[in-house]
Amino acid sequence: MNLSPFKAFIAFGTASLVMITSACMNSAGDRRDNPEQGILTFETGPLINKGDIKVHYYMPAWKTTGMPLQFVMHGAGRNADDYLEGWKAKADEYGVIIVAPELTKESFSSTEYISGMFLTPEGEISDPEATTFSLIDKIFEFVREELQLDNRNYNIYGHSAGGQFTHRFMQFYDSPYVDKAVAANPGWYTFPDDEAEYPYGIKGIFTDSDSLRKSFYLDNLTVLLGTADTIRDKDLRQTPEADLQGLTRLARGEWFFDYNKARAEEKGFQFKWQNVYVPGSGHDHTLMSPAAADVLYGKNGNNEGM
């Protein structure tokens, strides 16, 4: 196998798209008098073949077409509506459009969601257009058209299972649109490690693993960790392989960041990630989401390229 299908491709797949709630802008198409919230319906297409996806969105009540667009990826509860609500105050504060796809348990198993369907059932690298990762760019193109936006790119945030999806999306999928990413409190990680078997590592998958790592380390990725996310609850994967990454989500996130930073320094690769802590937060998206918004759009963030 080689690296080219993933960190060297651009996905512009077509899909049948159907909208059930439309944007209501004024005739200028640039300003609105009230905030807008709704749901769009996106058809996944024949390669993914998972039927319709609900896409929740929120637009603040002022200039919209030039606002940054923020994807929000829910956790294992598949509660995209709750995640959208958790971002609304910061969306109003910073002027950000929120898009929260809902990948239901009925359509996407836990593995299909968090792993992005990166490998086929036979263990081969999937066609990029058949991965869950490819949905994000396709939904972006769809939302941009349906809501009459002129965004050239987007940011992505995921918490818990959504954080797992987000870090693997950045690692394995070469989107032409994504700018910044925040992976918050993932339960466990896929390390770009040739010594560990997938899904904990990438042993035997790529013939040029250094190219994968070099590209991954150039991503604008924030590993966002709650300092109180230290409970080994029933939802935390507790396999021997996962426990090698650490015994808690906090410990695993710290090891993931430190391992990759050291690997980048060892290889002489540029490393653009950052590790940010949310003091006092456990495994709680209502605390992590505002912190992520501050990282992306606050005094330490910027909207370059939006």
Quick: pLDDT tens for 183-193: 999 999 999 99
Among residues 116, 128, 176, 123, the alpha carbon closest in space to that of 152 is found at: 176
Residue 63 — very low, low, confident or very high, per pLDDT cuts 50/70/90?
low
Judged against a pLDDT cut of 60, whether residue 6 lies above it is answered with: no
Contact 155, 71 (CB under 8 A): yes
Tell me what the mean pLDDT of segment 98-121 comes to. 97
SS (H, E, C) the chain: CCCCCCCCCCCCCCCCEECCCCCCCCCCCCCCCCCEEEEEEEECCCCCCCCEEEEEEEECCCCCCCCCEEEEECCCCCCHHHHHHHHHHHHHHHCCEEEEEECCCCCCCHHHHHCCCCECCCCCECCHHHCCCHHHHHHHHHHHHHCCCCCCCEEEEEECHHHHHHHHHHHHCCCCCEEEEEEECCCCCCCCCCCCCCCCCCCCCCCCHHHHHHHHHCCEEEEEEECCCCCCCCCCCCCHHHHCCCCCHHHHHHHHHHHHHHHHHHHCCCCCCEEEEECCCCCCHHHHHHHHHHHHHCCCCCCCCC
pLDDT at 113 over 90: yes
> Bigger pLDDT: 162 or 14?
162
Strand partners, 39: 56
Give the tens place of pLDDT for each residue, 240-272.
Answer: 999 999 999 999 999 999 999 999 999 999 999
Per-residue pLDDT averaged across 15-40, rounded?
Answer: 57
Which residue segments constitute the domains of the chain, with CATH numbers given?
A: 17-24+33-297 (3.40.50.1820)
* pLDDT value at residue 66: 77
Share of the chain above pLDDT 90, in %: 83
- Would you state the pLDDT for residue 13? 39
Question: pLDDT tens digits, residue range 122-164?
Answer: 999 999 999 999 999 999 999 999 999 999 999 999 999 999 9
Dihedral sign computed on CA atoms, order 279, 81, 102, 136: negative
Q: 80: closest CA among 155, 17, 158, 142?
A: 158
pLDDT at 4 over 70: no
Provide the percentage of residues in the chain whose pLDDT is more than 70. 86
Q: Which of 264, 179, 190, 251 is nearest to 222 (CA)?
A: 179
CB of 205 within 8 A of CB of 198?
Answer: yes
When the pLDDT of each residue in the chain is averaged and rounded to a whole number, the result is 89
- Residues 9, 128: Cα–Cα separation, whole Å: 8
Could you tell me how many residues make up the chain?
A: 306
Q: What is the pLDDT of residue 213?
A: 98
Span 29-52, pLDDT tens digits: 455 678 899 999 999 999 999 999
Cα–Cα distance measured from residue 248 to residue 19, given in angstroms and rounded to the nearest whole number? 41
State the average pLDDT over residues 185-207: 96
**What's the average model confidence in pLDDT over 161-183?**
98
